[in-house]
Structures are given as C-alpha cells and as structure tokens.
Amino acid sequence: MLRSSLSTSKLFKRYFCSISSLSIKETLQKKPINQKILVQGWVQAVRKYKELYFVDVIDGTCLDRLQIVIDAHSSKFPTYGSSIKVQGLVVESLHKGQEIEVVADSWETLGTCDESYPFKYHQKYSSEFIRQHLHLRPRTRRFSSILRIRNHASMAVHKFFQDEGFCFVHTPIITQNDCEGAGEVFSIDVKGKLAETLFSTNQDSNVINTNDDSTSDDESEILNLENNINLSEKHFFGAPTYLTVSGQLHLESIASALTRVYNFGPTFRAEASRTKLHASEFQMIEAEISFIENVDDLLQIVEKCLKRIIESIVDSCVEDVNFLSKDLKKHDQYIRNLTSKPFVRMSYKDAINILQNNKKLLKVPIEFGEDLGTDHKQFLVKHCDNMPVFVSMFPSSTKPFYMKSDENNLAHCFDLFAAYGGEICGGSLREDNEENLKKKFPFEKNSSLSWYLDLRKYGTVPHGGFGIGFERLLQSILGISNIRDVIPFPRRKYDCKC
C-alpha cells in the first residue's frame, strides 16, 4: 500500500506541476505552445461562433488580451466584467492579430459582474464620464495603460538619480513651514475624542514624575516640550502645522551633509483653481545639489533627467504609449524630438520680446516685468515647435525668500514649460548668505524656520535645486490635457471622491 501511495503521489505531482500559473503578459511573451497553463483575469469580451465561445481576458499586466476558447455546450458561459480562472492548453491561433490562444479544459467564475456595471463592451466613454467612477477606472484599457506607465516612470526617476549619485530622502509630509510662501496650505487638526482631552489645561493630570527611575527619556522630552508651549493654542505639535507644499527646505538641510539628494513624494496645495493643470494633491520630484554656482548646471541636470525618463518609458512601454497616443497627430515624432533635440533656453527678456512681437496672437497682452501667464507659456512652447522651453530669470511678485539675491543681474532661477503639461519644472540657486536671508524674511517672527538660518551659519556652501511635477511630466509625454486623467485618485476643491 505504501509503494502504491508513493506512485500515485508522483503521478499527481508530475501532472499538476506541469500546469504553470502564468500572467497574461508572461503567456503572450513566452508563448508556451502545447503546454497546460492556468490563467486568471477579467472578461473583456465574449463572442459565440458555432459551438464555441471566444472570451477575451485581461489581468492588468499588459495592454493585450488573451483569447480563451470554451466549448459552447457548457451549461454556463463567462459574462462581461466577471473574473474567471481557466486551465487549458496553449495552441497556435488561426485568427489575425494574435499568435496564441488557450483552449480551456476547465474554468470557473471567481466573481460575477452585476448588470449595473457602468462600462459596457465596445462602447467609448469620455474622460469626464470615466472620472465619475474612480474606483472602477483602472479596469478601462486607457487608464490601466496610464497606471503601468506611471509605475515604470516612477522606477525610471529613481534609477536616474541613483545612477547620478543622489541619495534618496523621505522628507516630512507634516511641517510648520510654507516653503512657497503663497499661503496655499492645508492645516492639520485633531478630531474626535483625542481633541477633547489632549489639550486639557489641567496639567496636574498629566504630570510626569521626573524623579521616577521608570520615566523614559521620551516622556521627559515631552514634558519639556509641554512646559515651553502655550497649551491654550490647542495644537497637537504645539504650533500650527500643515501638509507640505515642498520638501525643498528639508532637502537643503540634508544636502549640506550629503551633497546630492532628492525626494519623490506627495505634495499638497490648497488652491481654488480648477484648471486642467491643477490638483490639490500630486507627486513632486525634488533635488538639491551642493557646490553648484551656475543655474546652467541645474538646467543640464533637469534636461538629462527628463530625457532619461522619457527614453525609459518609450522603450519599455511601447504598446501602452502607442495606445494612448493613437489619436494624436505626429505624436511619435514629438516624442523623438523630446529625446533627440536639445531643450530651448531663453532669458525672460527674450521671452517677452517674442510675446510682444506676436501680441496679436495672444489672448492676454504682457509687459516687461510681469509674470508669464498660462497662455504666454503655451505660446512660447508652440513658437519653439513644441519643444520644452527653459525661461531664466523671470520676475515674480511672490519670489520665494530662499532664492539667491540678484546683485549682479544674473539668472538665478528658471521655469520649464512643455506641451500639454504647461509648467513642469522650476528651480533656482538658493540664497547661501545669512545676512541676505535675514533681509528677505522676518525670521524673528517665524521661529519655526530658525534652523534654516543655521544652515547658513554653520559651513554654508553654494547650492541649488529644482522640483518636477510628476503628473505634469506624464501629461507632456503622453499628450494628456487634464492632470486628473493621470492621477489614480485626483483631489481638487469640492472634489475628493473615493
């Protein structure tokens, strides 16, 4: 009996080990003809022809679908939108446009799809309609392509900076500082029962016995902090705090020790704008570099970074990029230009001259000394054959305090404009002189930024940096006009669904 059991076990293992569980991407790439496989995914189409059902299945690993052939004599058949598991034999396909298909030996429905499912087979929907169903939007071919490209672009960002010797840093999301100085920040408050009890003015109930040997260092530190703040302010951190608008200031701190650093994470702006280029939460790529004294050196790093990301996307996401841009004229040439031609560089003065020489074509006129508006930026890009345009040394009524002083009338800051995405990057040389900083900003009234002065007091160096809007970069690469169509769950004023 034992020998018989072992023989049966070997046959069982041999049979079932021969059935490989593959993703649809793996199946289409490997083409394991005459092999048994197991695939799982969602039904995208069902067609009946004579005695057979032809079922198109996707699993999100690639743009393409895998055709499953099922005997129509079955008492049931897969329905559109449902999830299924299939075991079958991979064979060569006789149908155009596909090399292989799977003839099902067995299959089962894992999850049925209700008739109220908003997306119907073979129907096209506007971006506005699809956006109303954010939780289901990833199941559309278009948005699943965008998500795969986002993933690859994110990895390409890290690869570039790692290859260039930058150190990745997680800068805080909670901060007391408004880096941009525009005041468009989200405040942080405590809600619920904690808010009722946390800031009680009856300090006797919260006294920590510092003579007790069991008192931890952390508790002593908290006691010291509590004794030095006004508890009546009722702030969790002892002062107003906000969601970050930029990690730049913290990156400057670390760049003063590690030289080349970057972050890549969420930033928040409490803007009321509802344009196609604005969102309240988005991802920023930010870098800070010590020992850099010329803004042109920053431009070179930015251009190299963007070209490397674009090249990586178009090389590794060919099908997805082509699918998304199929309705855009000459988009393939546009992409080739982005990677092969140098970005355009001009001064603010040159930009104003171009705009004023073409003032009849502008919706809004502009005078020297004024900030460039959205229409002006778009015009400059079109004027330069849709190539990204660096504009250096432009004025601003809200010029950040950290920007280097312009004593010698040199360009110390820049913006980068591109098709579809508008302003996708901005950067500057930072002010490294302590006295100049004190003249620009009332640090004595803003004690939460005293540490920023220390960076200039203790071994300061010339340095600079930049920030790239990740979603706007994707817009520019893919030719997508609305930023909400490249963010999985977009947020803006009056709109925080899902």
pLDDT single digits (tens) 465-495: 999 999 999 999 999 999 999 999 999 999 9
pLDDT band at 13 (very low <50, low <70, confident <90, very high): very low
Dihedral (Cα; 75, 77, 82, 85), 10-degree rounding: 80
Nearest to 414 by CA among 279, 302, 286, 255: 302
Tens of pLDDT, residue by residue over 26-41, are 999 999 999 999 999 9
Tens of pLDDT, residue by residue over 436-461, are 999 988 888 888 888 999 999 999 99
Query: Residue 468 belongs to what H/E stretch?
Result: strand 463-469
Residues facing residue 393 across a β-bridge: none
Tens of pLDDT, residue by residue over 140-173, are 999 999 999 999 999 999 999 999 999 999 999 9
Identify the weakest region by mean pLDDT among 100-104, 191-195, 199-203.
199-203
Tens of pLDDT, residue by residue over 146-155, are 999 999 999 9
Distance CA 342, CA 117 (A): 47
φ, ψ of residue 99 in degrees (nearest 5): -95, -30
Assess whether pLDDT exceeds 70 at residue 224.
no
Nearest to 498 by CA among 26, 67, 107, 132: 132
User: What is the predicted pLDDT for the residue at 336?
Assistant: 96
User: What is the predicted pLDDT for the residue at 393?
Assistant: 78
Assess whether pLDDT exceeds 50 at residue 2.
no
pLDDT band at 223 (very low <50, low <70, confident <90, very high): low
Tens of pLDDT, residue by residue over 244-276, are 999 999 999 999 999 999 999 999 999 888 889
Average pLDDT over residues 319-338: 95
Identify the weakest region by mean pLDDT among 18-22, 108-112, 319-323, 398-402.
398-402
Instruction: State what percent of residues in the chain have pLDDT above 90.
Output: 69
Instruction: Give the residue, 408 or 229, on which the prediction is more confident.
Output: 408
User: What does pLDDT average to over the chain?
Assistant: 88
Average pLDDT over residues 295-299: 96
Q: What are the structure tokens assigned to 363, written together?
A: 């919706």
pLDDT band at 87 (very low <50, low <70, confident <90, very high): very high
Dihedral (Cα; 289, 292, 298, 300), 10-degree rounding: -110
User: What is the predicted pLDDT for the residue at 199?
Assistant: 55
Specify the DSSP class assigned to residue 371: P
Distance CA 490, CA 214 (A): 48
φ, ψ of residue 85 in degrees (nearest 5): -125, 130
Assess whether pLDDT exceeds 80 at residue 193.
no
Cβ partners under 8 Å of residue 239, min gap 6: 176, 229, 233, 448
User: What is the predicted pLDDT for the residue at 440?
Assistant: 87
Q: What are the structure tokens assigned to 132, written together?
A: 């109303």
User: What is the predicted pLDDT for the residue at 474?
Assistant: 98
Q: Radius of gyration (Cα) for the chain, nearest Å?
A: 29
User: What is the predicted pLDDT for the residue at 307?
Assistant: 98
Assess whether pLDDT exceeds 90 at residue 284.
yes
Q: Where are the alpha helices (DSSP H) in 18-140?
A: 24-30, 127-131
> Is the distance from CB of 492 to CB of 320 less than 8 angstroms?
no
Distance CA 81, CA 121 (A): 9
Dihedral (Cα; 371, 372, 373, 379), 10-degree rounding: 170
Average pLDDT over residues 368-381: 93
- Residue showing tokens 């003839």: 103
CB atoms within 10 A of CB 142: 17
